Amino acid sequence: MIKFVNVSKAYPNGAVALENVNLEIEKGEFVTVVGPSGAGKTTLNKLIIAEEEPTEGTVLFENQDIDAFNSGQVTRLRRRIGMVFQDFRLLSNKTAYENIAFAMEASGKSDEEIVSDVPHVLQLVDLQDRMFHFPGQLSGGEKQRLAIARAIINQPEVLIADEPTGNLDGKNTMEVIEILKKINDLGTTVILTTHDQQMIKAVGQRIISMERGRVVGDEQKAQVKL
């Protein structure tokens, strides 16, 4: 489904984020990408949603070169991928309800679907009482759950979660893991990037290890050196 072929990424300041990465992620997989800060995990995610372009190599989504997509194709690609960002990236001027509704409106869902689905997904992430709160009025864990709710509302084919438990305590971390597992059980491909040991132990059938922009390990639930 997603394929990295000899992908390298260097930023304009000269920092090399990825170096000759080759990867293939199949439909329905739960992949955990692990590695220390600066390993290139976030850049990997950004390349999949076309937020960044590779300096060399090709990133393929269903055998199509993402880098060659025009603006409309990028928009359609992003509607098929749900993304949970490390820093949440919620719309601060919109309530929890509106943040999720916006993702549905953007993908052309009807008002009826929005009215029916948004409360349901908020209930799923236990935020039904925070529906009309703005992100600034939510705790870190609530923001993270809201970001997950927004990412899954359009039933994406791929869910990318970038350090989703970075700001959460143990209880909230386990809750997020459970949500991700459930989503994967429903057939969604999940790509989780983390350096959280608790999370690595708890999830992932396949674990890809990265260091300094290179893939140094790709195993099925094996010992991971960090």
Partner 1 sequence: MFWVRLKRVIKSGWVNFRRNSVVSYAAILVTTITLTVVTALFVFQAILNAGIAQVQSKVDIAVYFTVNAPEDQILALEGNLQKLPEVASVQYISADQQVLAFRDRHSDDYLTLQALDELGDNPFGGLLQITAKDSSQYDAIAQVLEGNTPIAQDNSQIISRINYSQNKEVIDNLNSLIFDARRVGLVLTLVLSLISVIIMYTTIRLTIYMARDEIGIMRLVGASGSYVRAPFLVQGILYGVFAWLVTNLIFFPLTYLAGVKLTNVLGINLYSYYTSHLFSVSGLVLVIGVLLGMISSLLAVRRYLNV
Name the residues that contact partner 1, by CB under 8 A: 49, 51, 71-72, 75-76, 78-79, 83, 85, 89-93, 102-103, 105-108, 110-111, 150, 154
Q: Which is nearer to partner 1, 86 or 209 (CB)?
A: 86
| CB of residue 199 to partner 1, shortest distance in Å | 23
| CB of residue 106 to partner 1, shortest distance in Å | 4
| CB of residue 18 to partner 1, shortest distance in Å | 19
Phi, psi of 68 (to 5 degrees): -90, 0
| CB of residue 50 to partner 1, shortest distance in Å | 9
CA-atom Rg of the chain in angstroms? 17
Q: Which is nearer to partner 1, 134 or 167 (CB)?
A: 134
Q: Which is nearer to partner 1, 111 or 178 (CB)?
A: 111
* Cβ atoms of residues 124 and 96 within 8 Å: no
Q: Which is nearer to partner 1, 83 or 127 (CB)?
A: 83
